[in-house]
Amino acid sequence: MKEQKSIPVSKVARATKFVTTGIKVSGNYIKHYARKAMNEDVTREDLHNDNATDIYETLSTLKGSALKVAQMMSMDRSVLPKAYVDRFQMSQYSAPPLSGPLVVQTFKKFFGESPSQLFDSFDLKANNAASIGQVHVGFKNGKKLAVKVQYPGIAESISADLKMVKPFAVRLMGLNEADVNRYMGEVETKLLEETDYVLELRRSQEISQACSGIDNVYFPEYYPELSCNRIITMDWLDGLHLKEFLATNPTQETRDSIGQALWDFYELQIHTLKQVHADPHPGNFLMQPDGRLGIIDFGCVKEIEDSFYFEYFSLINPQNMADEELTIKLFYKLEFIYENDSQKDVDFFVPIFKYMIGLLGKPFHQETFDFGDDEYFQSIYDFADKLGKMKEIREQKVARGSKDSLYINRTYFGLYSILNQLKARVNTHSVFKELEYVA
């Protein structure tokens, strides 16, 4: 892939890229309707493909929060048309990398030395590049190391980028503007944390140590002396990313082993540590033929407050779902419904949220769940599609759901998606099934 020699860092330069893309997208609409007039077989999917290509090209050049938001949305196939999902998933592995001279500049700025002075050898050509940074291979004292280098200017551009991304999310991708406004602060906070590599280093060491006893899970060792607030150095982990792993046609036993390791990793974080690796896209996991799972990148971690934890997981408990009065109380606490809602609103939303929670909580309601059940996942996509077409939902001016649920829901959607692709059968019996909530 062609290297990128610079990143637009000023507000004017980045805004210009967005405006140019907006003009291209408008042109795509004009071309689409012109083609449609000449040929009735032209589909909306053709328009989505053109728009997705142009938007991804801009976001991959800008990198940072703009590209990260695209990556986040690509994890949920119920939100975006397939063309956007396919294109935006590229940001998980293969954004255009920065050129070697820019990498050397970053090292000299923070260490006062070039990478060739710090390491026995260092490959200036990136091994992979994503939204916030890119990874290089280095060697020191006989060890192969992964060195993650953050793109310059990314941390400083987050707030401005999110303001520019918002119109694309609202108008192009059919997202609710109230939801975008409500959760923008939570997204901005997490993105700022992701650019703080000192914080990421601490969390990486703490969570990997706490989870080191989980069967079939392994982590890299981290090196603080070769890390700073824009560079992290860790052991190089061998393994295959999800698509590469599936291409080897692994046995069901191996799929189940990795699926169970992944599930247990998240269960321990959520229910014991009360903080969770909230970026479960396939690029953060490495899979071995013997059923082991390597885990990297703790840049996005959601800390879970006790009150939210008990309310959220008590709601999923099927025994509590049978208690109508308790369910309503939990809906108020989790901001699915509000005190100033009319009775008509309450009567409309309560059945919808009860069905949604029952559907998404299904894996927790039995000892073992087969994530290879495509009918189950299709029912989720069908339900999301149905909601998107409901006039009452589209015209909502109030966002529904606590902002704290944003990254927890994202975590479970990402986890479910990977387990579905693995076709893994997992023992899902969880500690929260024993919770009793008193409202």
Q: pLDDT > 90: what percent of the chain?
A: 42
**What local confidence, expressed as pLDDT, does residue 37 receive?**
47
3-state secondary structure 173-205: CCCCHHHHHHHHHHHHHHHHHHCCHHHHHHHHH
Rg (CA), the chain: 23
pLDDT of the residue at 269 = 93
More confident residue, 398 or 31: 398
Task: Determine the average pLDDT of the residues in 176-191.
Answer: 73
| Interval 122-176: pLDDT, tens | 999 988 877 788 899 999 999 999 999 988 877 777 777 777 666 666 654 455 6
Give the per-residue pLDDT at 189.
Answer: 84
Q: What pLDDT score was predicted for residue 437? A: 39
82-110 average pLDDT score: 69
Q: Per-residue pLDDT for 92 more than 80?
A: no
Give the separation between CA 137 and CA 32, rounded to whole angstroms: 44
Q: What is the DSSP string of 389-419?
A: H-HHHHT--S--S-TTHHHHHHHHHHHHHHH
pLDDT band at 35, cuts 50/70/90?
A: very low
Among candidate residues 143, 123, 132, the one with its CA nearest the CA of residue 68: 132
Q: Collapse the DSSP code of 232 into the 3-class scheme (helix H, G, I; strand E, B; otherwise coil) and give the result.
A: strand
- Residue with the bigger pLDDT between 240 and 25: it is 240
- Residue by residue, DSSP assigns 323-380 as -HHHHHHHHHHTTSS-TT--HHHHHHHHHHHHHHHHHHTGGGGSSEEETT-HHHHHHH
pLDDT in tens, 294-331: 999 898 899 999 999 989 988 888 777 788 899 999 99
pLDDT digits over 285-304, tens only? 999 999 999 999 898 899 99
CA distances from 210 to 8, 44, 269, 297 (A): 39, 48, 9, 15
- For residue 408 the two structure tokens come to 């927890």
The whole-number pLDDT of residue 129 equals 74
Give per-residue pLDDT as tens, 338-363: 999 999 999 999 999 999 888 888 89
| pLDDT tens-digit map of 209-249 | 999 999 999 999 999 999 999 999 999 999 999 999 999 99
What confidence score (pLDDT) does residue 439 get?
40
